[in-house]
Structures are given as structure tokens and as C-alpha cells.
């Protein structure tokens, strides 16, 4: 028995997974004594409870055999099996640290690990970690090692359905048997996840913003699934960007979470629904547009206030403390922001 995978050896070389006192394990045990039962008729068979750590299995068998003048003799006896530990082929591959045939390199160029925490929960939920030989943490991501290319391809397909990403593959010849014409390759799959996460402030290219319904270039990411969900805080216009669209028109996050500053809401006015402009896209029904005056908590002894539009009008009230990004006093190094008119750049984004 292989105690790592809880599998039993069925000669000559097949490993089957059986639970204790299961029908599969009972059939495997009966095959071991099939020759001894060839001259009698098996009536009943069942397990007798043993301690799980005792490495013992006990079967209670009932057999019958016809004797002189049609008389039938019945007997009940117990057969005891001794479980011996043995490593299966997969265990040998795991113990050999350098043995792998495919690796999936997942990367995301961000300063935080929020996306990988999210992927970790999904991988555990769908049990995709069971076929991995090893998981190695790298600075910008993770490496998943597999014993077969099919398992690696399954992980790549899962990542592409879960988060917006792009992938490419390559393979390297490791050995070649001239006589049997057998080639052994090591495959490498590289998966790059878009560097945008929830609550990030992004600046779209003018061409992409126009194709999404003439929405503002400064947007907020409200959710990341298989697509990136954006909202325009000044109009509540929403849009979804898939992986292919992102890589054709890439954009980056303007800030990281460490640059958030604390503001206090001085006054807020909820805005009635604005008329849609020509070609405008859909608007969010879960948010409320509002105009707010805010002040930094670090500048309470001054009279300086900031004006902004927000999509959180259904949550905010005067006196609330909020976190936001100060665009008025920051030095942004973004090619799209640098080309925008200063009148189109808000002072604060929350």
C-alpha cells in the first residue's frame, strides 16, 4: 500500500485507490485468496473492524461445500491480511525533486499579492493542487511543477478562465532514444496576469476610452473576474475589458495601496441622473453619483478643500472618513495622464 496516496497495488503494476472497508478493497482482498476458494462456494464476506493504524485487515468469510450424499457443509473463518508499505510510481517522482515534465510559471507585475491570495482559494476549492509535484514561490509569482503536460495544460486553461491573462508555451528536448524513436521533452507554460486589481485607479488610452462608449480616461477598477470591470466615478458608466482587449491597449495602475490618504467628507450632494451622451455605454445601478467636498485629515488646520465626483454617494455622509488618492499634489509618470488636459483630471479619486 502507498500511504501517501492511499492506493493499493493490484498486480502486476496497477495502483487502485480504495477506502477502508470499501467494496473495492474487499474485491482486492478476495483476489488474493481466489485460488484457495476455488474448491468451495463463497456465501458471504465482510470486514471485521481493526485499528486503522494497525496495518491489519480481517475478513470474515462464509463458505459451503457439498459432501457425501448431498449434504452441505458450511464453515465460517477469519482471514487476516498484513499491509506492507510501498511507494508508488508517483511517490518516486515526487521524492525525486528534479523530476518534472511541465512547469507553469504564473506572473503578475504588482507590489502586492491580492490576486494570488484569490487564486489560492480557487485552486484549493477546485482541488487543482493535487496533481502538482511542487509549488515554488518566486518574487513576481508562483511556479507549478507537474509530472505530465496534460496536468499543466489544465492549470493554464483554469487560469485563463479565472483571471484575464495571456500565455505562451515552449518545450525543450531532454533525451532521445534512437532505437525506439522516443523523445522526452520538458514543457514550460508562461502565464502573465494583468497588473490591475480591485480598487485600483487606472488611466485608459484615448482610443480604448472612446471604444468603451466615450467614458473618462480616469476610471476605478471595481472587480476582477475573467474580465476587468471598470467604472467612471464622474458618470457611473461601466465597462468590461477582457484579456485580449487589455493586451492590445495596455494600461497600468496609477497608484498602489500604500499611497492612499485619509480624507474627511465636508459636504456631499447626490446628483440626479445625467443624460447620456451619444454613444455612451451602460451605467451602474448599484452606485449613486454624488459631488463631494473633502479635506485631508492632515490639513484640518487649513481651509484647503478638494472637490471630486464619486460613485459612492449611497454610502458616504458628511463627517465620514474615507481613503482616496490625491491626484492634485502627486507626480504621476504615466504616458496617458501626461497627455490629458488638466481640466479633465480630478483632484481626488475614491
User: DSSP labels for 60-104?
Assistant: EEEEEEE-GGG-EEEEEEEEEEE------HHHHHHHSTT--SEEE
Residue 103 lies in domain: 99-193
pLDDT at 43: 83
Question: What is the CB neighbour count within 10 angstroms for residue 11?
Answer: 7
Is 341 found in the same domain as 204? yes
For β-strands 261-270 and 290-296, DSSP reports them as antiparallel
Within-domain flag for 155: yes
- For all residues of the chain together, what is the average pLDDT? 86
Q: Supply φ then ψ for residue 256, to 5 degrees.
A: -115, 160
Residues 318-344: tens digit of each pLDDT: 999 999 888 888 888 888 888 888 888
Same domain, 328 and 211: yes
CA distance 100 to 148: 8
Cα(155)–Cα(89) distance, integer angstroms? 22
Is 92 within a domain? no
Model pLDDT for residues 284-317, shown as the tens digit of each residue: 888 888 999 999 998 888 888 999 888 888 899 9
Split into its structural domains, the chain has a count of 3
Q: Is residue 93 part of a domain?
A: no
Residues 103 and 56 in one domain: no
Residue 5 reports pLDDT greater than 70 = no
Please tell me the predicted confidence (pLDDT) of residue 94: 66
Residue 2 lies in a domain: no
pLDDT band at 97 (very low <50, low <70, confident <90, very high): low
Co-location of 212 and 335 in the same domain: yes
In a domain, 333, yes or no: yes
Grid cell, residue 129, equals 493542487
Provide the pLDDT for residue 200.
87
Pick from 153, 10, 193: which is nearest to 88 by CA?
A: 10
Amino acid at each position: 500500500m502507498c500511504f501517501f496516496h492511499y492506493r493499493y497495488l493490484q498486480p502486476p503494476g496497477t495502483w487502485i485507490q480504495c477506502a477502508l472497508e470499501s467494496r473495492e478493497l474487499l474485491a482486492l482482498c478476495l483476489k488474493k485468496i481466489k485460488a484457495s476458494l476455488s474448491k468451495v462456494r463463497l456465501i458471504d464476506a465482510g470486514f471485521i473492524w481493526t485499528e486503522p493504524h494497525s496495518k491489519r485487515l480481517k475478513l470474515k468469510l462464509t463458505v459451503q461445500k457439498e459432501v457425501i450424499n448431498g449434504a452441505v457443509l458450511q464453515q465460517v473463518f477469519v482471514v487476516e491480511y498484513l499491509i506492507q508499505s510501498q511507494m508508488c510510481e508517483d511517490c518516486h517522482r515526487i521524492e525525486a525533486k528534479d523530476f518534472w515534465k511541465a512547469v507553469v510559471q504564473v506572473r503578475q507585475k504588482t507590489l502586492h499579492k491580492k490576486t494570488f491570495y484569490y487564486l489560492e482559494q480557487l485552486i484549493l476549492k477546485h482541488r487543482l493542487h493535487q496533481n502538482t509535484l511542487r509549488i515554488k514561490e518566486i518574487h513576481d509569482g508562483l511556479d507549478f511543477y507537474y509530472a505530465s503536460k496534460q496536468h499543466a495544460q489544465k492549470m493554464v486553461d483554469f487560469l485563463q478562465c479565472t483571471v484575464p491573462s495571456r500565455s505562451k508555451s515552449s518545450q525543450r528536448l531532454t533525451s532521445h532514444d534512437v532505437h525506439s524513436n522516443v523523445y522526452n521533452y520538458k514543457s514550460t507554460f508562461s502565464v502573465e496576469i494583468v497588473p490591475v486589481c480591485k480598487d485600483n485607479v487606472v488611466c485608459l488610452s484615448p482610443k480604448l476610452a472612446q471604444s468603451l462608449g466615450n467614458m473618462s480616461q480616469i476610471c476605478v477598477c471595481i472587480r476582477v473576474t475573467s474580465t476587468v470591470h471598470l467604472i467612471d466615478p464622474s458618470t457611473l458608466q461601466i465597462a468590461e475589458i477582457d484579456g485580449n482587449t487589455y493586451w492590445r491597449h495596455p494600461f497600468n495602475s496609477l497608484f498602489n495601496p500604500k499611497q492612499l490618504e485619509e480624507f474627511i467628507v465636508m459636504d456631499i450632494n447626490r446628483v440626479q441622473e445625467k443624460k447620456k451622451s451619444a454613444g455612451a455605454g451602460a451605467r451602474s445601478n448599484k452606485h449613486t453619483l454624488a459631488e463631494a467636498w473633502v479635506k485631508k485629515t492632515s490639513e484640518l488646520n487649513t481651509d484647503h478643500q478638494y472637490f471630486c465626483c464619486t460613485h459612492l454617494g449611497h454610502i458616504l455622509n458628511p463627517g465620514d472618513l474615507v481613503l482616496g488618492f490625491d491626484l492634485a499634489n502627486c507626480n504621476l509618470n504615466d504616458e496617458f495622464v501626461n497627455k490629458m488636459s488638466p481640466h479633465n483630471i480630478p483632484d481626488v479619486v475614491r
